[in-house]
Homo-oligomer: A and B are copies of this chain.
Amino acid sequence: MARQASYDREAVLKRALELFWAKGYHATSLKDLEVALDMRPGSIYAAFGSKEALYGETLRLYAQMSQAGFEEMLAKAPTRLAGLAAHVRALGCVAPNSVPSRACMLVKTLLETPDDDPVLRQLTEDMMRKIEVGFANIYRAARAAGEIPETADPERLASRLQIEIFGLRAYAQRTDSGARVAALADDIARDIESLAIPKPATAPTTAH
């Protein structure tokens, strides 16, 4: 046995994530990374292999952290539908300075990566697809639980939700007004909630 690495890999990845998320892939240079990670090029390449691979790892970390936050929000909500609405509202309330960018890093990556970078492109599409499937599963469960009508199409609703989130977060990057974004997120959340089948007041299933 011998020397052990002096850095905390997860902490390093978080710092790389901040930088990449804020500046994008192409605009982030290795010099930037050397400063942010406080590592010399040799160490960076020994640990991660390439700039592209490092970016990929930060993307995975991003998706994983986002997913964790989303699931926490969902667990706290009284119904699945309320959970989805709460998620959208939460996205509308992010403080601009608490985060490297208000836009979704996956969308930033997708739009910055034409067909010429198949690795990152595929990775991004896969992650997006996974999130969408997760949404669909929640809608499906909500339908099975009688929260939304039998006629609802989970896949379609999931795609639509992803569209709203993509759009909302891109819009949030556009404007200075946090209040405006929050109001728009609320509009979207309300539309989600409007799918709900109104609960009978007291009686369990049938009208009295």
Interface residues of A, Cβ cutoff 8 Å to B: 22-24, 26-27, 101, 103, 107-108, 110-112, 114, 116, 125, 128, 156, 159-160, 162-168, 170-171, 173-174, 180, 183-184, 187-188, 191
Contacts and interface: CB of A to CB of B under 8 A. Distances in A.
Nearest to A171: B163
Given A22-B114, A167-B165, A159 B173 contact: no
B184 A107 contact: no
A163 B173 CA distance: 11
A170 B114 contact: no
A59 to B, nearest CB: 15
Nearest to A163: B167
7 contacts: A24-B114, A27-B116, A108-B112, A111-B111, A156-B184, A163-B188, A164-B164
Nearest to A170: B166
B112 A27 contact: yes
A60 B24 CA distance: 23
Contacts of A187: 156, 160
Report which residue of A103, A167, A183, A184 has the largest number of chain B beta carbons within 10 angstroms of its beta carbon. A167
Contacts of A191: 191
Nearest to A115: B22
